[in-house]
Amino acid sequence: MVKAPAAEQLKLLDLQAIDSKLTSLKRRTRNVTENPEIASVAGKLAAANSQMVAADTEVSDATRALTRAEDDVATVVTRLERNQSRLESGAGNPKDLSAMQHEVESLKKRRIDLEDAELEVMERLESGRTQQGRDQDVVETITTELTALEEKRDAELVEIEVERNDLLRQRDECAATFDPSLLAVYEKSMAHRGIGAARLFHGRSEGSGMQLSPGDLADIRKANPDDVVMCPDSGCILVRSEDWGN
């Protein structure tokens, strides 16, 4: 059985206090890193970006469609102007001129249809650009919100790291004051149980939060003050104060 002066065992509570703070910081780091609000806003941003991509695609498609519509109108207008010039010149036989007149009428109708289609594409493009602008505004707003949350998270993580480094320094200094064999028992319990030492107070283990059985308490009463006793429930070192069994 490992032995250590009662006063040295009592100091284990100082080391445990530091380790408890380090454990708390680890949980805090996890909570800050896995901030659900950041995840939620990031999801909104992904959806907004997807919507903006759809709007960009619509604008690109409408722009290409408008170019084709303008080309179609220009082609018909060019042919119509050429035929009208030939009709006005009166060159050609009556049959050809009559056929050309029919073609001019068809071209005029075709021009109206194409211009109507062109107008629809222009309206589609204008609507797409309006939606594109709205989507861009949404993306920028959410991006700003996400950036603020991430900056807050990063700043908090820096604060945690500063506090953690200070605690690690304190822990090294505190741990160096213990006998290696006692420290080894503490560290083993800390690694396996998450707690290395706890006070035994009025027959209750603060490591497990449980009242010890009469049999366990009787065994502890038989132990010498320098005997290192373990909590039967949590497995940590039980530090006995003067009134531990009262």
Residue 46 has pLDDT above 80, yes or no: yes
Residues, the chain: 246
Dump the DSSP string for 142-199: HHHHHHHHHHHHHHHHHHHHHHHHHHHHHHHHHHTTS-HHHHHHHHHHHHHHS--EEE
User: What is the domain class of 35-174 according to CATH?
Assistant: mainly alpha
Computed over every residue of the chain, the mean pLDDT equals 92
Q: What is the DSSP letter of 225?
A: T
**Residues whose CB falls within 8 Å of the CB of residue 6, separated by 6 or more in sequence, listed in order:** 225, 226, 240
Beta bridge partners of residue 200, listed in sequence order = 205, 240
Residue 245 has pLDDT above 60, yes or no: no
As a whole number of angstroms, the distance between CA 185 and CA 239 comes to: 13
pTM for this prediction:
0.71
pLDDT on residue 83: 79
**Does 35-174 match 6-30+179-240 at the fold level?**
yes
Residue 9 has pLDDT above 60, yes or no: yes
Where does the pLDDT of residue 91 fall: very low under 50, low under 70, confident under 90, or very high at 90 and above? low
Does the CA dihedral 217-219-224-230 come out positive or negative?
Answer: negative
pLDDT on residue 85: 82
Both tokens of 195, joined, read: 């707690």
Domain definitions of the chain by residue range: 6-30+179-240, 35-174
Where does the pLDDT of residue 197 fall: very low under 50, low under 70, confident under 90, or very high at 90 and above? very high
Domain 6-30+179-240 fold: Helix Hairpins (1.10.287)
95-133 tens-digit pLDDT: 766 777 888 788 889 989 899 999 999 999 999 999 999
Both tokens of 9, joined, read: 């065992």
